[in-house]
Chain A
Amino acid sequence: MLFALAVAALVLVPVAVTFSSFARVEGDILAHLTEFVLPELVGNTLWLVLGVGIGVSVLGVSLAWLVAMCEFPGRRVFDWALLLPLALPAYVTAFVAIGLLDFTGPLQTWLREAWGITGLPEIRSRGGVILVMSLALYPYVYLIAKNAFATQGAIALEAAQSLGLSRTQGFFRVALPMARPWIAAGLMLALMETLADFGTMAIFNYDTFTTAIYKAWYSLFSLAAAAQLASILILFVLVAVVFEQRSRTQMRYGAVGRSAASRRIRLSPALAGLTLLYAGTVLAVAFIIPVTQLTLWTRDVIADDLDTRYWAFAWHSVLLAGIGALMVVTVALLLAYAGRQRPGSAMVWTQRLATLGYAFPGAVLAVGLFIPVAWLDNWLIDAGRAWFGFDGTEILKGTLLVMLLAYLVRFLAVGFGPIDSGLHRITRNVDEAARNLGTGAAGLLTRVHLPLLRTSLLTAATLAFVDIMKEMPITLMTRPFGWDTLAVRVFEMTSEGEWERAALPSLAIVIAGIIPIIFLTWRGAHSHG
């Protein structure tokens, strides 16, 4: 519990900084936003959350079910390939989608010129944003739900069928409810990321709560008003998350019987064909087409832009994402474990506070972290100057420590979701059996739980690794001099609208992100075969 509180306190630092903005209320700016900006964007934001929520759930759960429970041609490839969109930042997918599908894009141009067809639905619209965000974020649900289906055991389903439920009924009445914590964990990640997103919304010029936060800061020069709006957003997320969690605290989700993986449902040729078509289309639209476009753009700029520094950028990205992911997984495991040892509503609140960093708009979190770090650093520097004649301008700020802590605060949710839901799968009976055999608390963790949690841990590590690789605002604000990463290169190019030149670092991020995804699947395949 103490540990959980300590982690939560770390996250509470930027939260406190953000909330402290209420000390200075700029009435005219808030009044203006309330009158002219908020009414529309609250509706926009709700539609977005609803649409993306449905989109990622339908895509993620259906694909997870098909891959985990059914046999169809190419299943083993789709198993990992459907995760690949994770490696692609959503704003890249958005930029490519608009480039291809807008009035000026090749599709509409061809339809117009060859066939005289006009009046296609506008991609730069609410529907377009929802579509792109769903395609970019469904892997969170897919990955975590797939683990749930794969581990929930075929016996439950067989029992359902022996009780007279059809296969469809069995899915909706047994498999789906049994996978609920997993689906909810994936959905929460996808929705928190949607709420905090700025890049994709900017490309679509779609106004959400987060775009208003940046408007208050960058355009109306009021960091205070921005922080106040962010506080409201964070409160909203906290309440939603705790509400979701409490609605299922009374349930237990242990596994029943052996894994289902060995008895996949054999689909009829027609159904198998449809499944292949469906999974293939999602993969093509969410990954293959955007990456092809990136590759084409990269080809145009690679001769001018690829230099030896890229090794350093890539190394920095991989190193930071690697260490960061390790920290995230370690802390998330301890946090989830604390919850298992000491359940109760105080713990739920503590855990949820500790994982709130993911719902922050990135740059607001970066500032919320930077201000206290700079304050502490100033104190250290002044003390160092007085006592040791220290002559410098940074102590903490010049190290990677600040950056890594910031990643931890931001991405703890990404590690916590899969690990916490994975822990639910281990029944109390297992603990008791182990204890009866004389295993102590430490032995229970290292010899019983960790092996059982392997897939969840790898999932958490992969998500955290890929997310850190893509992260921009924290990296920009807290990197020491000379610590540029691939994501920083993307920023350098896109900040002046040079999207084609941003393709090279974006593609490098994708390639570096694919490695752990393949590793995850390979290890995953060996851990519960």
Chain B
Amino acid sequence: MKPTLTRLLAALAFTAAALPALAEEVVVYSARNEQLIKPLFDAYTRDTGVQIKFITDKEGPLMARLKAEGSNTPADVLLTVDAGNLWQASQEGLLRPIQSKTLQANVPAHLRDPDNAWFGLSVRARTLVYNSSKVKPADLSTYEDLANPKWKGRLCLRTSKKVYNQSLVAMMIKEYGEGKTEAMVRGWVGNLATSPFPDDTKAMEAVAAGQCDVTLVNTYYFGRLMEKNPNLPLAIFWPNQNLKNKESGVHVNISGAGVTRHAKNPAGAQKLIEWLSSDKAQNLFADVNLEYPVNPKVAPDKTVAAWGSFRQNLINVKEAGSLQVKAVKLMDRAGYK
């Protein structure tokens, strides 16, 4: 057995190391999962002949990996969900700024790094979903209002361990300061109908079953749930839309990408990211997960468009990263599990 084993390993090692790079190749480390990115990469290869090699993992391990590999990393592109992670990658010096007129034009200013180290590629809106047989839309107004005692025992939330909630709270710290934000989070916690859920879908199911009346979710989870079960008494509400009260819009986040500092094919990496932001790719990128295209010239998917249009909060999404640690600590203090 032993010699066979050794030979097998040697053969595998050899093929892995010795495969010649025939065509141009771009290597991607992705925290966006395989079924969401593979169709795009296949399309890119069809379009340009450029081969894409990729590996998926969580952001934390991917960044640790990039860091450990240093200048010998095979990765050209880091693709993640949530701006906070991209901000952190750039803080750790894992990304290189790129000058691209295409990306400047395709990606709105608040959805990319001011220093050009990363760029949003799809928009994820975190909004309110309510039980349409128990709540009138007129009763809903803002994220802050969910801390109002009138929602006591009527609110469901996903766990504060999920980065989406951390980003939301981080952006609120940017907007209102820590004191006001903490009071609000304490209000949310006081209004909870039950302990926080592990994911958005479970929280919405609780709303539909009447365990609570309203929750906070990313819209694509709503889309997915309703696709499977269209009769649920659930509806979307866009909060913080009232301009007269100087409300600043719906909290958005991105999934996005940057070129790695030690990319072997930085030009190819940049071309890939530019292509992903183009009209051609945007629908494929966003629609496959019912997200919003980042490129304002591209219309969202029919299902997504049917939820109505909304005004986005224009604070730069990098604050989700720069204030994430503060946000997490704040939520711990407020007892938001």
Q: Interface residues, chain A, CB within 8 Å of chain B? A: 29, 32, 36-37, 98, 102-104, 109, 122, 124, 202-205, 207, 211, 214-215, 217-221, 223, 323, 326, 363, 366-367, 370-371, 374-375, 377-378, 381-382, 392-395, 397-401, 404, 473, 476-477, 479-482, 484, 488, 491-493, 495-498
Q: Known: A124-B195, A205-B197, A492-B35. Is A370-B64 also a contact (CB below 8 A)?
A: yes
17 contacts between A and B (CB under 8 A): A36-B332, A104-B202, A104-B206, A109-B209, A205-B159, A205-B198, A211-B161, A219-B161, A221-B324, A367-B64, A371-B64, A393-B264, A395-B17, A400-B12, A480-B16, A488-B56, A491-B56
**B240 close to A (CB within 8 Å):** no
State whether B69 touches A205 (Cβ < 8 A): no
State whether B289 touches A496 (Cβ < 8 A): yes
State whether B61 touches A220 (Cβ < 8 A): no
**B23 close to A (CB within 8 Å):** no
- Smallest CB-CB separation from A397: which chain B residue? B69
**Which of A207, A394, A491, A497 sits near B17, CB closer than 8 Å?**
A394
State whether B61 touches A473 (Cβ < 8 A): yes
Q: Which residues of A contact B199 (CB under 8 A)?
A: 497
CA distance A207 to B159 in the complex (A): 11
Label chain A's interface by main secondary structure.
helix
State whether B72 touches A377 (Cβ < 8 A): yes
State whether B198 touches A363 (Cβ < 8 A): no
- Smallest CB-CB separation from B159: which chain A residue? A205
Q: Mark B291-318, 1 if CB is under 8 A from A, else 0.
A: 0000000000000000000000000000
- Smallest CB-CB separation from A319: which chain B residue? B8
State whether B56 touches A207 (Cβ < 8 A): no
State whether B221 touches A497 (Cβ < 8 A): yes
Q: Which residues of B contact A104 (CB under 8 A)?
A: 202, 205-206, 208-209, 211
Interface size class of B (residues with CB under 8 A): 35 or more
State whether A393 touches B55 (Cβ < 8 A): no
CA distance A395 to B9 in the complex (A): 13
B292 to chain A, nearest CB (A): 16
Q: Which residues of B contact A122 (CB under 8 A)?
A: 194-195
Q: Known: A215-B161, A363-B61, A496-B33. Is A220-B16 also a contact (CB below 8 A)?
A: no
State whether A32 touches B329 (Cβ < 8 A): yes
**B65 close to A (CB within 8 Å):** yes
CA distance A203 to B60 in the complex (A): 19
**Which of A203, A221, A326 sits near B325, CB closer than 8 Å?**
A221
Q: Known: A37-B332, A367-B61, A481-B55. Is A401-B166 also a contact (CB below 8 A)?
A: no
State whether B200 touches A497 (Cβ < 8 A): yes
Q: Which residues of A contact B55 (CB under 8 A)?
A: 479, 481
State whether B201 touches A393 (Cβ < 8 A): no
Q: Which residues of A contact B211 (CB under 8 A)?
A: 103-104
B127 to chain A, nearest CB (A): 17
- B183-215 residues with Cβ-Cβ distance < 8 A to A are 194-202, 205-206, 208-209, 211
Q: Lowest 9 CB-CB distances: which A-B pairs, in order?
A: A374-B68, A393-B74, A399-B13, A398-B16, A36-B332, A497-B199, A104-B209, A492-B33, A104-B205
**Which of A204, A211, A219, A496 sits near B328, CB closer than 8 Å?**
A219
State whether B325 touches A220 (Cβ < 8 A): yes
Q: Known: A204-B198, A476-B61. Is A218-B208 also a contact (CB below 8 A)?
A: no
**Which of A204, A382, A393 sits near B73, CB closer than 8 Å?**
A393
State whether A477 touches B61 (Cβ < 8 A): yes
CA distance A471 to B276 in the complex (A): 33
State whether B17 touches A398 (Cβ < 8 A): yes
A124 to chain B, nearest CB (A): 6
CA distance A220 to B332 in the complex (A): 12
**B34 close to A (CB within 8 Å):** yes
Q: Mark B52-89, 1 if CB is under 8 A from A, else 0.
A: 01111111110011001111111000000000000010
Q: Which residues of A contact B166 (CB under 8 A)?
A: 219
Q: Which residues of B contact A488 (CB under 8 A)?
A: 56
Q: Which residues of A contact B27 (CB under 8 A)?
A: 481
A434 to chain B, nearest CB (A): 26
Query: What's the A-B contact tally at a CB cutoff of 8 Å?
Result: 153
Q: Interface residues, chain B, CB within 8 Å of chain A? A: 1, 5, 9, 12-13, 16-17, 27, 31, 33-36, 53-61, 64-65, 68-74, 88, 159, 161, 163, 166, 194-202, 205-206, 208-209, 211, 221, 224, 264, 289, 324-325, 328-329, 332-333, 337
State whether B163 touches A219 (Cβ < 8 A): yes
A121 to chain B, nearest CB (A): 13
Q: Known: A103-B194, A371-B64, A378-B69. Is A32-B58 also a contact (CB below 8 A)?
A: no
State whether A492 touches B56 (Cβ < 8 A): yes
Q: Which residues of B contact A109 (CB under 8 A)?
A: 209
CA distance A482 to B57 in the complex (A): 13
CA distance A195 to B121 in the complex (A): 38
B321 to chain A, nearest CB (A): 8
Q: Which residues of A contact B196 (CB under 8 A)?
A: 205
A259 to chain B, nearest CB (A): 30
CA distance A36 to B27 in the complex (A): 41
CA distance A137 to B271 in the complex (A): 49
CA distance A401 to B6 in the complex (A): 10
A316 to chain B, nearest CB (A): 11
CA distance A37 to B64 in the complex (A): 24
**Which of A203, A219, A323, A398 sits near B324, CB closer than 8 Å?**
A219
State whether A392 touches B209 (Cβ < 8 A): no
**Which of B53, B73, B161, B221 sits near A202, CB closer than 8 Å?**
B161
Q: Which residues of B contact A37 (CB under 8 A)?
A: 332
Q: Which residues of A contact B329 (CB under 8 A)?
A: 32, 36, 220
State whether A378 touches B72 (Cβ < 8 A): yes
CA distance A36 to B328 in the complex (A): 11
Q: Which residues of B contact A382 (CB under 8 A)?
A: 72
State whether A323 touches B5 (Cβ < 8 A): yes
Q: Which residues of A contact B194 (CB under 8 A)?
A: 103, 122, 124
Q: Which residues of B contact A221 (CB under 8 A)?
A: 88, 324-325
State whether A363 touches B58 (Cβ < 8 A): yes
CA distance A103 to B13 in the complex (A): 51
CA distance A382 to B16 in the complex (A): 18
B305 to chain A, nearest CB (A): 22
Q: Which residues of B contact A370 (CB under 8 A)?
A: 64-65, 68
State whether A394 touches B72 (Cβ < 8 A): yes
A400 to chain B, nearest CB (A): 5
State whether B13 touches A398 (Cβ < 8 A): yes
Q: Which residues of B contact A404 (CB under 8 A)?
A: 9
Given contacts A124-B195, A219-B325, 7 further A-B contacts (CB under 8 A): A32-B329, A103-B211, A205-B161, A211-B161, A399-B12, A477-B61, A497-B201
State whether B61 touches A366 (Cβ < 8 A): yes
Question: Looking at B33, B59, B333, which has the most chain A CB atoms within 10 Å of its CB?
Answer: B33
**Which of B33, B224, B332 sits near A32, CB closer than 8 Å?**
B332
State whether B16 touches A399 (Cβ < 8 A): yes
State whether A476 touches B57 (Cβ < 8 A): yes
CA distance A268 to B37 in the complex (A): 62
A450 to chain B, nearest CB (A): 15
Q: Which residues of B contact A398 (CB under 8 A)?
A: 13, 16-17
B168 to chain A, nearest CB (A): 13
State whether A202 touches B328 (Cβ < 8 A): no
CA distance A366 to B60 in the complex (A): 11
State whether A326 touches B1 (Cβ < 8 A): yes
Q: Which residues of B contact A394 (CB under 8 A)?
A: 16-17, 72, 74
State whether B57 touches A477 (Cβ < 8 A): yes
